[in-house]
Amino acid sequence: MGATLASCRPVAYDDLAGIDPSDAARAVALWVNSPANPHGALEDLGAAADWGREHGVPVLSDECYVEFTWAGGGRRRTILEHGPDGVLAVHSLSKRSNLAGARAGCYAGDQELVTFLGEVRKHAGQMVPGPVQAAAVVAWSDDAHVDAQREVYRRRMARLRQILAACGAAATMPAGGFYLWAPAPGGDACALALVRAERAGIVVTPGETFGPAGVGFVRVAAVQPDDRIELAASRVGL
């Protein structure tokens, strides 16, 4: 969507090797999201960094779900592990600290890219207000609330998996993020969404909302309070 708003042409890719050379030659940036929304997969950030440097394309790594990494012992990964040249790691307080309304985050990486974006932000009038900056400093300086929130999401997803199973759909724990990506019985995501709404009172997102590759899945966000999730569990006999 960011590419569309910038009047660019977004090109989806399944893997780096499958990117058409003509698209690579014209690319302004390569965007990677790990852990990914909606399915929670972890991407090979080292391979993305290498691809960008080989093709002279900046790699922007959206790492806003990095605090909620479950696979690999929960080790959090950043593209900056592979050096800063030609890459940016982009973070947000919206997921880490439940501060979506603050619209505050940070980016780090290639010095030239960081300097350029800093100038663009100033001239485009995108400065973050002082009170929001002060709140962001407090949020970035504390990890205890993040650790607590991580356990909340882990517990919620475990319970939501049980509710999904009671509705005839099995969901595995994602590698990262706080969404369950559940295959719909018979591949009918809208039917599963209807069952969830009617039986449990839970609204989920049919996968096709995220593009053709999402057909046959639903995304379940573990964002409702525990008491609401327990209410849904009671409705399906759990």
Whether 123 shows a pLDDT value over 90: the answer reads: no
| Dist CA 231 CA 192 (whole Å) | 19
Whether the pLDDT of residue 159 is over 90: the answer is: yes
> 32 near 3, Cβ under 8 Å?
no
Task: For the chain, give the percent of residues with pLDDT over 70.
Answer: 100
pLDDT at 93: 95
Q: Which domains does the chain have, with CATH numbers?
A: 2-132 (3.40.640.10), 144-235 (3.90.1150.10)
Write down the pLDDT at residue 198. 86
For the cut 90, the answer to whether the pLDDT of residue 85 exceeds it is yes
The stretch 54-61 carries a mean pLDDT of 97
Please provide the average confidence, as pLDDT, over all residues in the chain. 93
Closest to 51 in 3D by CA, of 27, 78, 76, 75: 27
Residue 153 has pLDDT above 80, yes or no: yes
pLDDT at position 125 over 80: no
* pLDDT band, residue 202 (cuts 50/70/90): confident
pLDDT tens-digit map of 174-189: 999 999 999 998 888 9
The reported pLDDT for the residue numbered 181 is 96
pTM, to two decimals: 0.89
Please tell me the predicted confidence (pLDDT) of residue 170: 87
Three-class secondary structure assignment of the chain:
CHHHHCCCCCCCCCCHHHCCHHHHHHCCCEEEECCCCCCCCCCCHHHHHHHHHHHCCCEEEECCCHHHECCHHHCCCCHHHHCCCCEEEEEEHHHHCCCHHHCCEEEEECHHHHHHHHHHHHHCCCCCCHHHHHHHHHHHCCCHHHHHHHHHHHHHHHHHHHHHHHCCCCCCCCCECCEEEEECHHHCHHHHHHHHHHHHCCCCEEHHHHCHHHCCEEEEECCCCHHHHHHHHHHCCC
